[in-house]
C-alpha cells in the first residue's frame, strides 16, 4: 500500500475568481430594473395625485395593489425605497401605527410628494420628475459597473416615540414666556378634566350630612 503523499493531502483548495465582466443576462436584468423603477415612479405619481385630490392618505398597504396592477409587476415597498434612493427629491415616507378592528395595530408607511412639489403637479413637473428618476438610474449604474449591481434602498423610517408632554415642557429649552404659557394651558386642561369627572354620590341622610358639616366647621374655629 502506498503511503499518502503529504503534498497531496495538504493541497490548498482553489477558489474561482470573482467575475468582473458583465454578461448579457446581467445587462438584461439591469435594464429590467431601470424600466421597473421608472414605471413605479410614474404610476406612484398618478396614485398620489389622485389620493391627494380626494384628501385620502396614501398608505402603502392601500396602494400596493394599484401599483401592481398598473405596472404589471410584483411591486413591493422595496421598489419605492429604491426610487427614493436614486431620486431623493421626489417623495417623503413616514412610519404610521394603524389600528384595525379588534384593537390590533400594525405598522404602515405613509407616502407623500416631497414638500418642494406644489400640487397639482404641472406637465413640466411630471417631466422633471421623470428626468430625475432616469438620470439617477443612469448615474448609479454608470458608477457601479459590477455584474451584480442593483439600486440600494433607503432606510425605512421609524415610528416616532411618544413623548410625555409635561416632561418635555420641563426639559425643553424654551423661552420663559413660552414655558409659562404652555404650563398654564396644561393646568387649564387638567382643571377641565377634573371638573368633568363624575361627582361622588353623597352617603347618609341629609340630616346626618348637615350634622357632619357642622361638626367640621366647629373644629375649624
pLDDT in tens, the chain (221 residues): 555 555 555 566 556 455 565 688 889 999 999 999 999 999 999 999 999 998 899 999 999 999 999 999 999 999 999 999 999 999 999 999 887 666 778 889 999 999 999 999 999 999 999 999 999 999 999 999 888 899 999 999 988 654 555 665 666 656 666 667 777 777 777 777 777 777 666 666 777 777 777 877 777 66
Q: Is 156 helix (H, G, I), strand (E, B) or coil?
A: coil
147-157 burial, b at 16+ Cβ within 10 Å, e below that, comes to eebebeeeeee
> How much is the pLDDT for 161?
55
Nearest residue to 87 via CA among 149, 34, 158: 34
134: cell is 432616469
The owner of cell 396602494 is 63
Q: Is the dihedral of CA 174, 175, 178, 179 positive or negative?
A: positive
Amino acid at each position: 500500500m502506498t503511503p499518502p503523499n503529504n503534498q497531496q493531502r495538504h493541497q490548498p483548495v482553489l477558489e474561482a475568481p470573482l467575475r468582473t465582466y458583465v454578461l448579457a443576462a446581467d445587462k438584461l436584468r439591469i435594464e429590467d430594473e431601470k424600466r421597473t423603477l421608472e414605471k413605479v415612479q410614474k404610476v406612484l405619481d398618478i396614485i398620489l395625485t389622485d389620493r391627494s385630490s380626494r384628501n385620502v392618505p396614501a398608505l402603502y398597504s392601500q396602494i400596493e395593489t394599484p401599483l401592481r396592477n398598473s405596472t404589471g409587476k410584483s411591486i413591493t415597498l422595496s421598489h419605492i425605497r429604491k426610487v427614493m434612493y436614486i431620486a431623493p427629491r421626489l417623495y417623503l415616507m413616514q412610519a404610521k401605527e394603524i389600528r384595525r378592528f379588534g384593537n390590533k395595530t400594525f405598522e404602515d408607511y405613509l407616502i407623500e410628494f416631497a414638500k418642494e412639489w406644489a400640487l397639482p403637479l404641472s406637465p413640466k413637473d411630471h417631466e422633471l420628475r421623470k428626468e430625475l428618476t432616469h438620470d439617477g438610474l443612469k448615474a448609479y449604474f454608470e458608477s457601479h459597473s459590477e455584474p451584480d449591481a442593483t439600486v440600494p434602498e433607503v432606510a425605512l423610517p421609524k415610528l416616532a416615540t411618544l413623548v410625555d408632554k409635561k416632561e418635555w415642557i420641563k426639559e425643553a429649552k424654551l423661552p420663559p414666556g413660552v414655558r409659562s404659557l404652555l404650563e398654564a394651558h396644561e393646568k387649564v386642561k387638567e382643571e377641565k378634566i377634573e371638573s368633568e369627572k363624575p361627582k361622588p354620590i353623597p352617603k347618609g341622610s341629609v340630616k346626618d350630612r348637615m350634622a357632619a358639616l357642622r361638626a367640621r366647621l366647629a373644629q375649624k374655629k
